[in-house]
Structure 1
Amino acid sequence: MAHTGRKDAPELPDFSLLKRLAKDQLIFLLEELPGRKDLFIDADLMSPLDRIANVSTLKQHEVDKLYKVELKPIVSVSDQLCFLIRPRIQTVKWITDIVNSDKASGRFRRYKIIFTPQKFYACDAVLEEQGVYGDVSSDEWAFYLLPLDDDIISMELPEFFRDYFLEGDQRWMTTAGSALHLLYSLYGPFSKVYGIGRCAKMVYESWREQVEDGEQKARQPEIGNVFLIDRDVDFVTPLCSQVVYEGLVDDIFRIKCGCVEFGPEVTSSEKSVKVMLNSQDKVFNEIRNEHFSNVFGFLSQKARNLQTAYDKRRGMDIQQMKTFVSEELKGLKQEHRLLSLHIGASESIMKKKTKQDFQELLKTEHSLLEDFEVRECIGFIEEHINRQVSMIESLRLLSLLSLTENGLLPKDYRSLKAQYLQSYGSEHLLTFANLRQMGLLVEQQPGEALTAVESKVGKLGVLSNNLNDFPQKTVPFEETGKLTDAFSSLAKKSNFRALSKKLMLIPKTGEEYDLRVPRDMAYIFSGAYIPLSCKLIEQVLERDGWSGLEEVTRLLNGHEFAVTGGSSGTEARIKTDSQRIILVMFLGGCTYSEMSALRFIGREKGYKFIVVTTAITNSGRLLEALLERQA
């Protein structure tokens, strides 16, 4: 059932060191405020912090009470307040209100702000503006990377996607460069760095600057090649319905920081249960990459094997029973508990995902990907909108239609947009503007307009290259405004159909596709589509660069690069173990389906992939980040 990899596959590096480093630095920062203190933690840092340092660890270092940052007056009576926050202006303003309120009431306290992963100039400016700069000490907790599993590392920065790809805010570039530099200093040097996308290029340049500024130490590399890829290189893949087990669990139950909460419908009791989903869970590890249609067969076989193991105790003498209880029983009980949870989760997924509606939905998606019966697909989407099935699902289908058709015909765009706004509310006009700016949901432009746009792209490319020569200088606000307007006016083109033909992303129809024994990465979408992002990575690794893919990179608006890293050419030619360990960094998020596809290539070609991502994403999270809700 679970696919066996090649026997010569290399061993992955040990990433637990990243956790230890983060924990030690946090403890050091807390101890810099000696004595008992109350700690206020940003809501979205709660789960990552729990993976690094639990409550008992914090208590050992004189943290008295823990509070969640809620942007309202505080009830703490402690004389020392410590704030562990993301560098957000709103949160810093809230802290300045607390300090000024204490001052007004004549109360003296000590305050410390720990920004993570870094502090931005704007945060200091707010402290200065509000007159509390001298009353507050601040520091940075360089918590860039959280290992979620043996081969998954997350920066846990979901805001990266909207900040950069929608708002053009480049403040996280240095953060991503620092994260890459941390991996380089612990597990490098890297032999080759490949990348595609404007953001990937900036992150690469930020990392190179840090490498040049730091000390060069010769050591045995544990990671060979690195591939940086922007999320906007491939929007189609995250917008497709996930059908591998791990992807479905994420879509339905929302995996948060490598942990999922199964409710009463799964546990068959009144309580919810939190479960860590990683390779330590033997049951999960064998089904995570499987197409959902294969999961029940595996789970029932597993249940039979477990029963056989339990039945062994019959007829045992006392000594054998003693050995069984001390060595096997605990493991069997744990496996039994996990098995029953995954069976419960699978049943819950079955109820939601095997209804006729879902089958129709998949059929529509596959037709869009194959450019087949598009008018019928539009009819299905209209019905989906008018029945108000799901606001996000309707947006997903509209975006998928636009991306695969390289934009909608003006009459279709106007009609579908009007129906959507009638069904879900006129406040979503701004959401449509965001989707248009991202190139996710656009009208097809007349041919003349596109040539004008292409010349504008060329001019902006030159301008952005000139700007990159001055990384330390601040561009005046008026100029950045003009730049943003210029970028947002571009009619982004998807070119999906042409890319699909060039890279053969759609397997030939008419051929039987056995999902139990997949022949390519298309199995993660029921044999209908090979994910563009993963196909690109596979092709570049096969060719050792972008040669032969010039037409593909042109369709993807360029910004590709391939640079030889720290090792010498001779070393790079020898396929050592580290050479077959590939680090892929997704800037803007990565889905569990893409991870499954990369693991599949790894098993086939003898590679091991490590996925580093700004955050784990799926169609729901990606589109929710682009919604404009009224305040």
Structure 2
Amino acid sequence: MAHLSGRRVNLQLLRQLGRKEFSSCFEEINGTICIGWCDDALRDALNLIVDMPYLQEINVIKMFVAEKGAIVPNIAPNVVFITKPNLDSIQLICEVILRTKENDRSSDHVKYHLMFVPRRCFLCEERLKEMGVFETVKDRIYECAIDFYPLDNDFFSMELPECFREYCLEDDTSSLFVAARGLNCLQNMFGTIPRVYGKGKAAELVFQYMARMRGETSTGNAAISEVTPVFDNLLLIDRSVDLLSLLPTQLTYEGLLDETVRIRSTAAKFPATIFKSEDRQTQQPLSETIEMKKIFLSSADPMYIETRDKDYRLVGPHLVKKLDTIKETYQKHKQKDTSMAELKLFTSNLPHLIAEKENVSKHTAIATLLKDKSQTMDFKEQIRQEQNLLFMDSSIIGSSGPVDLDKSNPFVETSIAKQEPITKVLRLICLQSVLNNGLKQKVLDFYKREIIQTYGYQYLTTLLNLEKAGLIGSPTARTMPSIKKTLKLIDMEFDFRSPNDIIFSVFDGYAPLSVRLGQFIRTPGWRSIEEILKVLPGPKIDERQEVPTALRKKLEDPTVASTFMNADNPQLTLVFFIGGVTFAEVSAFRCLSANDENGAEFVVGTTAVVNGNSFIEALMDDYSHAFDTTELTSYSQKSQRKR
């Protein structure tokens, strides 16, 4: 994890803090430990903090999946269930404990522990009481307050994809409280951030929670707050402010990978066959199950640093050039006139060259997978339709003709008739609605009717959720054209081979609104876009945080202040997304940081990494067990036995 400390902000400290918090929960546990997981996503996230060698140091000897029908392995005197504060997970844990007690009498000596990440939950403890399990664990319930997981040296996440749904649909602000707690903890490590900007209701709530917590603990943390600030600005962005940037297909290498295979906690799974030679693929016997290979994707991989923020169409040629360079190095040292000194140097570099060649081959296989996807007619038509919607006031014409945002989209109608994936259909409808500041009632009713009749009545609540979230709805004041023009969100003459502004490349001619908000903090300032900020949803934040008097005097010293503004030390802004961020937006911020003309550098934090599909899926209600008659059958059999 050395790559986490490669920038001005050492995010390795977040990992160390998380380890300390995690290990503190195990201090009072005597004997060997068996860990039970019921959430793969949480396990992957915690793997960024505590790996298997570290777990073995704290006496963990086995891990198992707490799934339906599972029984706790009877190999350790302590069993620790690690879970998010989720009722479904608690229900599952209770069932596993009760089933183990019923089927394995030798497990009576086992002590059960329950660890909540990142916070305890009263409702979950009430469920434990309802299930008759609370007495079993009541003295062994822990809160593991790991708020942030470092994903890279300029990017961290809370890994809470349910955050937007909770605060937007369910009026549950508990994740916002955790975000505020984490940001205050970050300020304890890196100094009080002098200037705070923000936009949106959730951003205002997080800032209020931060101020309240600082007020409550100001005395205890007086010494810590003397740390000289590393960050100059904090920008809090409520995802509701910029729903538009979630919906188009991401066209960076990293973004399209996430759209295709879903990157989760810096790792993605690929079919193992794509990394094998053609001869080995043909020799491999046919199997019903596809072997998957897990690949880690972060700045620990030098080739990934070079390619992740590029347009996916430029990655292939870049890898070919890299491979040609490696081949030239090999060929050069096969010549007869090679001296012994050169040969010795080549031999010492040989392990590095071999590793580099294997790495390039790995990314070539992944890039080929993306190329195959991008060459399908479905993908091309999807991108074309998104471009038509984004550039609806330009002369771009797709195969279906110009798009009229006030009418139903023929491509959407065709997709519904073909029963394309529901997320694909909803994504295009939401894109049309957001760009048009709502849909005419006739068009909205038509889309709803077509979806319900084609996909089923279970999606009625999904449509209602999308309305409440602001993704679809009736027409409001048409402000999007002025927003696009003032913030320069569209480049009509965009060419991915030589873009005028690099941040347009992440969405093929569209610059994310959220990134423009961050860019305008430095130059020309938020005062220049005051009118636009008024039409964007939610309140605006522009506050100065109080810093200790001694530190304030130090920062007001011209000789000290100049160090924050010179070219070698550009203004550093922490941008925190509440509700999720896409990899494309992160890439755009990286491009701004790399551009010396901006005089600004960015670190991005978020509640979760999302894309258009995963964001919409989080707003869907789960009806997978709505018609499950298992419990009814079980109840009927018990009733018959009693008779």
Deviates more, 1:400-409 or 1:70-79: 70-79
Question: Which letter does structure 1 place at the counterpart of 2:620?
Answer: L
How far does the alpha carbon of each residue in 1:200-240 deviate from its partner, in whole angstroms, 9 at most, with x for none?
11111212222231412312322221111011111111101
Q: CA deviation at 1:320?
A: 4.7
2:459 maps to: 428
Q: Distance in 1 between matches of 2:343 and 2:570?
A: 48
Amino acid at match of 1:225: N
In structure 2, the residue matched to 1:156 is 159
Aligned twin of 1:325: 347
| 1:291 equivalent among 311, 332, 355 | 311
Aligned amino acid, residue 109 of structure 1? V
The percentage of aligned residue pairs carrying the same residue is 28
1:358 partnered with 2:342: no
Q: Post-superposition shift, 1:573?
A: 5.7
Gaps of 5+ in 1: 1-9, 446-492
State the match for 1:625 in structure 2. 618
Task: Give 2:51's aligned residue.
Answer: 54
After TM superposition, what 4+ stretches of structure 1 lie above 6 angstroms from structure 2?
A: 101-106
Alpha-carbon displacement from aligned partner over 1:68-113 (angstroms, at most 9, x marks no partner):
2325452322432211111123333444455566777692432221
Map of 1:249-264 to 2, 5 A cutoff? Answer: 249-264=257-272
Structure 1 residue 250: deviation in Å?
Answer: 0.9
For 1:29, the aligned partner's letter is: C
The structure-2 alpha-carbon separation of the partners of 1:325 and 1:424, relative to structure 1 and needing over 3 Å to count, comes to farther
Q: 1:103 to 1:520 in 2, by over 3 A?
A: closer
Partners of 1:208 and 1:20 lie apart in 2 by 25
The CA deviation at 1:514 is 5.3
Q: Is the 8 A contact 1:265 1:344 kept in 2?
A: no
Task: Give how far 1:303 is off.
Answer: 1.0
Q: Which moved more, 1:287-296 or 1:226-235?
A: 287-296
Matched with 1:489 is none
How far apart are the structure 1 equivalents of 2:93 and 2:421? 38
1:232-243 → structure 2 map (5 Å cutoff): 232-243=240-251
- On the 8 A contact 2:67/2:92 being kept in 1, the answer is no
When residues 549 and 153 of structure 1 are mapped into structure 2, their CA distance, relative to the original with a 3 A threshold, is same
Compared CA separation, residues 350 and 73, structure 1 to 2 (3 A): closer
Amino acid at match of 1:206: Y
1:405 Cα deviation after fit: 1.3
**1:516 partnered with 2:516:** no
Larger mean CA deviation between 99-108 and 25-34 belongs to 99-108
Pick one of 306, 310, 326 that aligns with 1:306. Answer: 326
Instruction: Kindly indicate whether the alpha-carbon contact (under 8 Å) linking 1:278 and 1:284 is maintained by their aligned counterparts in 2.
Output: yes
Distance 1:494 1:351, change over 3 A: farther
Alpha-carbon deviation of 1:302? 0.8
Q: Does 1:387 align with 2:387?
A: no
Task: For 1:379, give the aligned amino acid.
Answer: P
Number of equivalent positions: 570
The alignment's TM-score, normalised by the length of structure 2, stands at 0.83
- Residue aligning to 2:633: none
CA separation of 1:503/1:323 partners in 2, compared to 1, >3 Å: closer, same or farther? Answer: closer
TM-score using structure 1 length? 0.84
Gaps of 5+ in 2: 1-5, 285-290, 394-401, 626-643
Q: Report the AA paired with residue 544 of structure 2.
A: T
Is contact 2:72–2:100 with CA below 8 Å preserved after alignment? no
Query: 2:119: which partner in 1?
Result: 118
Question: Deviation digits for residues 397-444 of structure 1, max 9, x if unmatched?
Answer: 111011111212222222222222333223211211111111212233
**1:72 and 1:94 in contact (8 A); partners too:** no
Structure-2 change in CA distance of 1:413 and 1:109 (3 Å): same
2:599 pairs with one of 600, 606, 621: 606
CA distance in 1, matches of 2:189, 2:45: 21
| Worse-superposed segment, 122-131 or 342-351 | 122-131
- The residue that corresponds to 2:203 in the other structure is 200
Cα distance in 1, alignment partners of residues 7 and 58 from structure 2 = 36
Higher relative contact order structure (alpha carbons within 8 Å, sequence separation ≥ 6): 1
Aligned-pair Cα RMSD in Å: 2.6
* 1:42 and 1:68 in contact (8 A); partners too: yes
Q: Are 1:374 and 2:403 matched, yes or no? A: yes
Residue 470 of structure 1 aligns with which residue?
none
Deviations 1:25-57 (A, max 9, x none): 322322321102211123222112222222232
